[in-house]
């Protein structure tokens, strides 16, 4: 049954609304002030929260700010007897689902609840899909992995820029996705850019966009990755391969929070959290003149070093069993067990390609081995 919370300092309104909605089959709870309402949300999950704006001590706008900060999935509907267009717009901009003016109309309330229910369901489905798309589960119980998890928990809720360093295949992208998913920007866009995969002459257009006619092939206006990520997170992978010209423009965006598209002198304001990753030693690149030192300091407010697989060998059995389950689910292959001596051979091996190489090896063993993965299979196919 859907749970609804009503926060209103007027007892007659909250009780009458509770009675009406209870008769409609909803599970309804009430709070007499903002502090009580916040306390209840911390303990219970609600689908819809009705909150009065004019309340003593903690008004509805403060309650809304706190609910948004808490990251509640509930649809928050603001109600007020002193409503005007400006107030309604401010509520919606802050993150409220709807604004209803007193005296309350039952039909309007029921329609709002119906729409809010659809919205809450969509948010839940989106989160599930994001988990599948992002593959955000971090596998491992080794000390280096526990340290990374602790760093993510501390850093994610902030807007601090993070530089993620580590060899190819270690899972730097996964760290970035976890930082986004655990941040206050998790409902906003998450945009990835592989700087090494974009030709140097196109990187500025890709990042900052271009106007129609800015160059020969610019047949229409194009929004760059910074604009696409507005309000959310931009992950610049392999940033050590970015040209110096593009680095200068990125530095300007980080400093001034504005950009101009290629072919335009008009400034566009953007609010983007930037995460960056590289497999290069950027201090060495700075010494060679390949990377701007001022950009390095802008990006490396927090540095997370992702260990190689050889530095976390105790995680290999967990990873192997995880990949066996994942690959079998994806391909429809029957799940296979792996013999302990076969697992030990994988643990003892050196993994220069890190997690990416391990997954490929597991997939190869699943395809080529029999009903079990044996030590002979590992010796033959790895």
Q: Is the pLDDT of residue 262 over 90?
A: no
Distance CA(221)–CA(212), nearest Å, equals 5
Residue 103 has pLDDT above 70, yes or no: yes
User: Rounded CA gap, 356 and 311, in Å?
Assistant: 15
The alpha carbon torsion through 92, 232, 211, 294 (nearest 10 deg) reads 130
192 Rama sector, left if φ>0, alpha if ψ -120 to 50, beta otherwise = beta
Q: With the CA atoms of 319, 322, 323 and 327 taken in that order, what torsion angle do they form, in degrees rounded to the nearest 10?
A: 180
- For residue 134, what pLDDT is reported? 44
- Whether residue 116 contacts residue 75, with contact meaning beta carbons closer than 8 Å, is answered with yes
Q: What pLDDT score was predicted for residue 317? A: 96
Q: Residue 309 has what DSSP assignment?
A: G
Residues 356-361 have a mean pLDDT of: 95
Dump the DSSP string for 246-260.
Answer: HHHHHHHHHHHSEE-
Report H helices in the chain: 11-23, 34-43, 60-70, 85-94, 106-134, 143-155, 172-181, 203-208, 225-228, 244-256, 282-287, 293-299, 316-331, 340-348, 354-368, 375-381
Take residue 240 and report the two structure tokens written for it: 């050590």
Kindly list the structural domains of the chain, giving each domain's residue range(s) and its CATH number in brackets, ordered by start: 3-131 (3.40.50.2300), 135-307 (3.40.50.300), 310-381 (1.10.8.60)
Strand 302-305 vs strand 258-259: parallel, antiparallel, or unpaired?
Answer: unpaired
Q: Which residue, among 276, 350, 343, has the nearest Cα to 306 in the 3D structure?
A: 276
- Return the pLDDT at 88: 82
Q: What are the tokens at 13?
A: 């309104």
Check: CB of residue 112 under 8 Å from CB of residue 74: no
> How many Å separate Cα 98 from the centre of its chain?
25
Comparing CA positions, the residue from 147, 157, 156, 154 lying closest to residue 176 is 156
pLDDT band of 135, cuts 50, 70, 90: very low
Rounded mean pLDDT, 46-53: 92
Long-range contacts of 290-298 (CB under 8 A, 24+ apart): 290/240, 290/244, 291/240, 291/244, 291/247, 292/244, 292/247, 292/248, 292/251, 294/251, 295/247, 295/250, 295/251, 295/254, 296/163, 298/161, 298/251, 298/254, 298/255
pLDDT given at position 130: 52
Question: Lowest-confidence range among 17-26, 99-108, 250-259?
Answer: 99-108
Tell me the per-residue pLDDT of 309-336, one tens digit each, with 9 for 90 and over: 999 999 999 999 999 998 998 888 888 8
Predicted TM-score (pTM) of this structure: 0.65
Three-class SS state of 83? coil
Reduce the secondary structure of 98-167 to three states and give it as a string.
EEEECCCCHHHHHHHHHHHHHHHHHHHHHHHHHHHHHCCCCCCCCHHHHHHHHHHHHHCCCCCCEEEECC
> What would the two tokens of residue 187 be?
């409902």
Work out the average pLDDT over 170-181.
93
- Tell me if 207 sits within 8 A of 250, measured CB to CB: yes
């Amino acid at each position: 049954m859907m749970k609804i919370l009503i926060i209103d300092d007027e007892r007659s309104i909250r009780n009458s609304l509770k009675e009406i909605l209870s008769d409609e089959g909803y599970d309804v709870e009430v709070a007499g002030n903002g502090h009580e309402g916040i306390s209840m949300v911390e303990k219970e999950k609600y689908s819809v929260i009705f909150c009065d704006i004019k309340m003593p001590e903690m008004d509805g706008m403060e309650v809304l700010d706190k609910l948004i900060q808490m990251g509640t999935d509930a649809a928050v509907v603001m109600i007020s007897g002193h409503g005007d267009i400006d107030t309604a717009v401010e509520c919606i901009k802050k993150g409220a689902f709807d604004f209803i003016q007193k005296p309350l109309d039952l039909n309007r309330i029921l329609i709002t609840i119906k729409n809010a229910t659809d919205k809450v369901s969509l948010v839940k489905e989106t989160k599930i899909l994001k988990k599948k798309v992002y593959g955000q589960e971090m596998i491992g119980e080794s000390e280096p992995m526990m340290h990374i998890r602790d760093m993510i928990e501390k850093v994610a809720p902030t807007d601090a820029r993070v530089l993620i360093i580590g060899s190819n295949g270690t899972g730097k992208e996964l760290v970035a996705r976890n930082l986004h998913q655990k941040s206050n920007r998790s409902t906003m866009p998450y945009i990835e850019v592989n700087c090494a995969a974009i030709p140097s002459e196109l990187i500025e257009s890709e990042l900052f966009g271009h106007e129609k006619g800015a160059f020969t092939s610019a047949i229409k206006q194009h929004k760059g990755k910074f604009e696409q990520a507005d309000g959310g997170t931009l992950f610049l992978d392999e940033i050590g391969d970015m040209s110096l010209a593009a680095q200068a423009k990125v530095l300007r965006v980080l400093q001034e929070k504005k950009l101009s598209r290629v072919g335009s002198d008009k400034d566009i304001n953007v609010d983007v959290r930037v995460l960056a990753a590289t497999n290069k030693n950027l201090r060495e690149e700075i010494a060679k003149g390949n990377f701007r030192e001022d950009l390095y300091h802008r990006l490396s407010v927090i540095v997370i070093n992702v260990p190689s697989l050889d530095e976390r060998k105790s995680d290999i059995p967990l990873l192997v069993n995880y990949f066996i389950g994942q690959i079998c689910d994806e391909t429809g292959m029957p799940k296979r067990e792996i013999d302990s001596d076969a697992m030990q051979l994988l643990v003892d091996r050196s993994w220069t390609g890190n997690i990416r190489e391990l997954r490929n090896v597991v997939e190869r063993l699943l395809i080529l081995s029999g009903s079990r993965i044996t030590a002979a299979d590992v010796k033959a196919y790895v």
